[in-house]
Amino acid sequence: MAGRGCGQRGDNGWSEWGGYMAAKKRKLEEQFDKDCSNNAKQLERKSNIFHGISIFVDGHTEPPADELKKLMMEHGGVYHAYYSKDKVTYFISNNLPYAKIRKLKPNDKVVRSQWITDSIKQNKLLPTYDYEMYKDITKSRGQTELNFKRTEPMRPITSDFNVPNSDEEENNSIEKSSSSSSETEDIQAEDDDHLSALDAKHPKFLETFLKRSRLHYLSSTAVAKKVYVQDLRQKLEHRQLIEKRREELKNNIQRSERDYLFKLNDEKKDKIYMHIDMDCFFVSVATRNQPELRDQPIAITHSKGKKSTTTNEHQFYSRSELASCNYAARQYGIKNGMYLGKAQELCRNHQAKLLCLPYDYEGFHEVSDRFYDIILSYTLDVEAVSCDEMYVDLTELIIYLKPLHPLTFVSLLREEIQLNTKCPCSAGLASNMLLARLATRQAKPNGQCYIEKGYEQEFISKQKIIDLPGIGSSILDKLQQTSLHKSIETCKHVQNLFSLEKLKSVLGTKQGQTIYDMTRGIDIRTLAKDYSPKSISIDINYGIRFQTFDELNLFIKQLATELQKRLQQAKQKGKQLTVKIRVRSVNAPIVTEKFMGCGKTDDSSRLVNLHSFTDDLTIIELETIKLLKQMNFVVSDLRGIGITITQLQSTIKNSHGKDMHGTRTLFDCNQFRVPKLTITTDDIQNIDEPSESSVTRKRPIQQDQTTSVVPKKLTRHDCYTPGQIDPRVMNELPAEIRQEVEEHLKNPPTTLGINSELHQINIAEKSFTQVMDHLDEAVLNELPPEMRREITIAQKLRKIESKYPPVGGKRLVSAPVSSTLINKEKSNAFNVLMNSPQKQPIPKKTTNPIKKWHTETILNEENTVPIPLNEKKLNTNQQQQQQQQPSIAGCTSLNDVKLMLREWIESSDEPNQIDLDLFQNYLFDLLNSYNAEMVHQLLIYGLLQLKTLTKTIWTDNFQILIDSVQTRFRQMYGGATMDLS
Ligand code: DCP
Ligand code: CA
Ligand code: CA
């Protein structure tokens, strides 16, 4: 055989790997030739279309390699079983591994197998362009490193280097339906860090990624503005500034006839809202010092747009996205977010040239700050929307400036903005926020528009549905489908063709109601002045390619750092952490269609309740890693990862001590009609920070967090503190109670002796109870969140208590009050209730509490002693609580937690203190939700596990944990101890 013939040492380098390989390749080539001639008789030569083409097949293809080999034989091509630089003209692959992509040379072409089958179908050699997997762009730059971009449909890559178009990758933004090839003109030399920050293994990947993400810029500045406005409301000196500015304005203004004609019916409580938005913000900023440019079409893009679609449109069609374009460009149909290639084409159709300018982030910040500061110097009735946009409730200011016409004020304001920023803006005025926003649209560019009373219906009926905020083509399609042949374009059409019921049946109750309201110009929102996000997260679904868990850990640090930054910027801390992962699906190719993207993935998530409200980097990092370790996945298959912090609490308090409602869209409006009050086990946990404080004492960092973040707990006396009761809440109280509270405020007890304390508690307790009984949900909602939470929990507890008739008569009021009861730590609502001796549901004279508890709760359902575990079945409140099962590391069922416990014990010689604290907290949660049985079983299980192992540190720590749980148990169950023998 030819192979054997080559197998002599010396000539052919058999002693070396390369020699062996060379020989083997040659052998296979000869084999192919031989096969061709052997098969010539059986395999009819069908065509010669692949003459001169030699292929190398890599990885799984469809049809498979053997079939491709046969096809090459039949159609005049050559098939190589091994890759040879000189001989192979095309790589055929449908999913080239990443490691191999890295090795591709500038002239290498990777073509999908479909190119072969399609060519055969059409009986001609098709151009490979449409089948190429990676387009070689290195030639022009002389780069040898990875510079391949997908030519397949993919999200646009606007970056100038290999770090992706972050805008499209973070937070899974909507994918664009794509046209054709990759952009080539975006490539510019960037600094080395950027060039090498190719995937998430790079220590600067995230930083580089976010720096180039305009979506990150937009979302982070929006948050910053909301927080800024919120902060300013706390500042007395700012209020003084406003007064001064208003006075100046009032004194200096020259009134026109129009001003005297305007009348705002303030007795009828007419509202006047302004929506104000900068015109083509990014472009205006970028050209603020070159106004002469503004008449020509301009866009802001990462690409310089030098190579326009000239000779070969297909090849140079840029998919770099326009962040913003000016109004000169818009007259040709160009829009924000459009691909550069498309915009250039539109310009060319009008014999115009699009000028592409770079992002000027510094300028955006500067102009945005000035824009905000000017408006905020007149009023704080502002809802920040984004870096270039806000809503203002002008009602109060307009009343103050009477008889000034609102439009006179707005034109002065806009002039001031133009003068200070060199950028134009437009404003809309109306009686509600929706109409004001639509009026801005009408006013643009550089204009203002007021939809006065009486003209609202006429205005709204002409508006296009698609221009309404939040309405996309899918809603429009649904409406169109139901209306059969009639065209649905304007609000008038919807008004005429759809009743409320019909809209609800087509779009669902909430959306139906919203569309009904919007198309009639109805908007009941008021400004959401305070920023209160539901969650803060970071999600990266690009460039995630790790080989080891250590690499992943390093990336988690980057993510945790960014998440901490976001939490701090938003002035929030959270108590729940969720990790979401996207893992390559079993059948999905290792190399994704979209370069460095996710491909088809299976997604899963896990959450953990944190010990306290936190924004701590280390905790975020450690908890994330812990959760990841519990999730079963192969690290090299990870394609996306996200961390979300929920159960947030603001680290600042607003001026009214009110709950901070987040900005809501019109779509959320309905939910504001019915205020909801929810309470979670975490709330209970929060109020009931263990008085024995074993958790916090053990961990100084967390103690800090606990003390600095957990809001000051409500005492009964706090209920009477003037600063803490919103006057509106006072007004809502029944007259009799209000009187009592006011009386108490006027004559607060002055002595601190036991007797007076007792008296104080008596009054406080009585009134507190009455207050709680009379507060309805609406009133509760007006209270500061911590006060509200505490009252609600106290209410709950009172209900629970009422199911356990106190053994020793009336509770608290007649109780022998120990001085500790009044001490600061114990005087919050929850602790007083919990620590009340009369509260204990179990008679204190249990002779053998250990045994009794054990038999009664686990074995004997018929006991006569009212013990909590039996009671739980009777009480709906408790049932609700149980439905909110406490969880640890995403596990709630006994079996899961046991499994987790066993793995935890087995996995280490000594437990981590944070883990112990978390586990202890979880057990406390279980106790709080009357699931002592589960606590008992878990402790027994843990002890059994440890019995079989010789882990002394573990055993010691577990015993400390048991002691803490027993202490808590004793407090809750009248001195009983769990039998763990
Ligand atoms: N932006 C972006 N990508 C988009 C839309 C907007 O990067 N798809 C950025 C650039 C914009 C800025 O946000 O300049 C403000 O967005 P607007 O929607 O307010 O749009 P413009 O200010 O550009 O134009 P308009 O005059 O219509 O407000
Ligand atoms: Ca704008
Ligand atoms: Ca805007």
The model's pLDDT over 465-515, given as tens digits with 9 standing for 90+, comes to 999 998 988 899 999 988 877 889 999 999 999 999 999 999 999 999 999
Using a CB cutoff of 5 Å, list residues around ligand 2, an ion.
277-278, 281, 388
Atom number, ligand 1, closest to the C-alpha of residue 282? 14
pLDDT at residue 851, rounded to an integer: 29
Q: Is the pLDDT of residue 786 over 70?
A: no
pLDDT tens-digit series, residues 720-731: 222 234 444 445
Return the ligand number nearest the Cα of 284.
1
DSSP β-bridge partners for residue 448: 427
59 vs 514: which has the higher pLDDT: 514
Question: What is the per-residue pLDDT for 157?
Answer: 24
Q: Which atom of ligand 1 is nearest to the CA of 426?
A: 26
Alpha-carbon separation of residue 826 from 813, 830, 861 (angstroms) = 16, 8, 35
| pLDDT for res 626 | 94
Here the tokens at position 53 are 């083409």
Q: How far is the CA of 206 from the centre of ligand 3 (A)?
A: 26
More confident residue, 663 or 967: 967
324 C-alpha vs ligand 1 centroid, how far in Å? 5
Q: Indicate which residue's Cα is closest to atom 9 of ligand 1.
A: 323
Q: Assess contact for 63 and 97: CB atoms under 8 A.
A: no
Most confident by average pLDDT, 17-31, 187-201, 369-383: 369-383
- Is 389 annotated to bind a ligand? Reply is yes
CB atoms within 10 A of CB 203: 15
What mean pLDDT do residues 910-928 have? Answer: 86
Ligand nearest to the CA of 327: 1
Q: Is the pLDDT of residue 222 over 80?
A: yes
pLDDT at position 197 is 53
Q: Which of 30-39, 73-82, 669-678, 737-746 has the highest mean pLDDT?
A: 73-82
Question: Cα(336) to centroid of ligand 1, in Å?
Answer: 6
Judged by average pLDDT, the poorest of 98-102, 420-424, 627-631 is 98-102
Q: Which has the minimum average pLDDT: 13-27, 146-160, 756-770, 860-874?
A: 146-160
For tokens 């639509």, name the residue.
438
Q: Using 50, 70 and 90 to split pLDDT, how confident is the model at 101?
A: low
Q: What pLDDT score does 32 carry?
A: 66
Greater model confidence, 172 or 368: 368
Query: Strand 273-278 and strand 389-393: pairing?
Result: antiparallel
Atom of ligand 1 nearest to the CA of 277: 28
- Which-ligand-closest: CA of 280? 1
When pLDDT is averaged across residues 615-633 and rounded to a whole number, the result is: 95
Q: Is the dihedral of CA 807, 812, 818, 820 positive or negative?
A: positive
Q: Any residues with Cβ below 6 Å from ligand 1, and which?
A: 214, 218, 277-282, 323-324, 336-337, 388-389, 444
Ligand nearest to the CA of 325: 1
Q: What confidence score (pLDDT) does residue 175 get?
A: 26
**CB crowding 299-335: b at 16 or more within 10 Å, else e:** bbbbbbbebbbeeeeebbbbbbbbbbbbbbbeebebe
Contact present, 571 and 578 (Cβ < 8 Å): no
For the chain, the average pLDDT equals 72
Alpha carbon distance 873, 729 (integer Å): 36
Q: Is the pLDDT of residue 177 over 60?
A: no
* CA 81–ligand 1 middle distance (angstroms): 53
Listed as own residue / partner, the contacts of 186-194 with beta carbons closer than 8 Å and 24 or more positions apart are 186/157, 186/158, 186/159, 186/160, 186/302, 186/303, 186/318, 186/320, 187/137, 187/140, 187/141, 187/147, 187/160, 187/161, 188/160, 188/161, 188/304, 189/141, 190/160, 190/161, 194/160, 194/161, 194/162, 194/163
Q: What is the DSSP letter of 124?
A: S
How confident is the model at residue 931, as a pLDDT?
A: 87
237 assigned binding-site residue:
no
Highest mean pLDDT out of 57-61, 302-306, 625-629? 625-629
Measured between alpha carbons, how far is 285 from 217 in angstroms, rounded to an integer? Answer: 15
Token pair of 576 as six digits: 């729940």
Ligand 2 center–CA 183 separation, angstroms: 27
Asked whether 460 and 491 are in contact (CB, 8 A), the reply is yes
Residues of the chain above pLDDT 90, percent: 39
d(CA 516, CA 468): 12
- CA distance linking residue 57 with residue 65, whole number of Å: 6
Any known ligand binding at 915? Answer: no
Which position has the higher pLDDT, 634 or 691? 634
pLDDT at 473: 87
Kindly report the length of the chain: 981
pLDDT at 914: 77
Are the beta carbons of 239 and 197 closer than 8 angstroms? no
- Examine the pLDDT at 938 and tell me if it is beyond 70: yes
Question: Active-site residue among 152, 169, 383, 389?
Answer: 389
Distance 709 CA to ligand 2 centre (A): 37
Highest-confidence range of 42-46, 361-365, 944-948, by mean pLDDT? Answer: 361-365
CA of 659 to the centre of ligand 1 (A): 31
For residues 925-950, average pLDDT: 89
Pairwise pLDDT comparison (683 vs 601), residue with the higher score = 601
Overall average pLDDT of the 333-359 stretch: 94
**Neighbouring C-alpha atoms within 13 Å toward the C-beta of 119:** 28
Q: Which two tokens stand for residue 131?
A: 């089948």
Pocket test for ligand 1, best of 278, 336, 361, 417 (most atoms within 8 A of CB): 336
**H or E element: which one contains 393?**
strand 389-393
Beta bridge partners of 110: 91
Ligand 1, atom 6: nearest CA belongs to which residue?
323
Return the number of other C-beta atoms located less than 10 Å from residue 632's C-beta: 7
Q: Give the tens place of pLDDT for each residue, 240-286.
A: 999 999 999 988 887 777 777 777 776 667 899 999 999 999 999 99
Tell me the domains of the chain and their CATH numbers: 31-122 (3.40.50.10190), 239-307+317-453 (3.30.70.270), 467-520 (1.10.150.20), 535-650 (3.30.1490.100), 894-973 (1.20.58.1280)
Left (φ > 0), alpha (ψ -120 to 50) or beta: where does 25 sit? alpha
Sign of the C-alpha dihedral computed for residues 811, 813, 818 and 821 taken in this order: positive
Structural contact between residues 154 and 178, judged by C-beta atoms closer than 8 angstroms = yes
CA 599 – ligand 2 centroid, Å: 35
Nearest CA to ligand 1 atom 24: 280
Nearest ligand atom owner, CA of 446: 1
Look up 389 and say whether it is catalytic.
Answer: yes
Whether the CB-CB separation of 340 and 318 falls below 8 Å is answered with yes
Q: How far apart are CA 380 and CA 373, in angstroms?
A: 10
Query: Residues 6 or more apart from 551 whose CB is under 8 A from it?
Result: 201, 635
Q: What angle do CA 670, 672, 675 make, to 5 degrees?
A: 125
Distance 229 CA to ligand 3 centre (A): 17
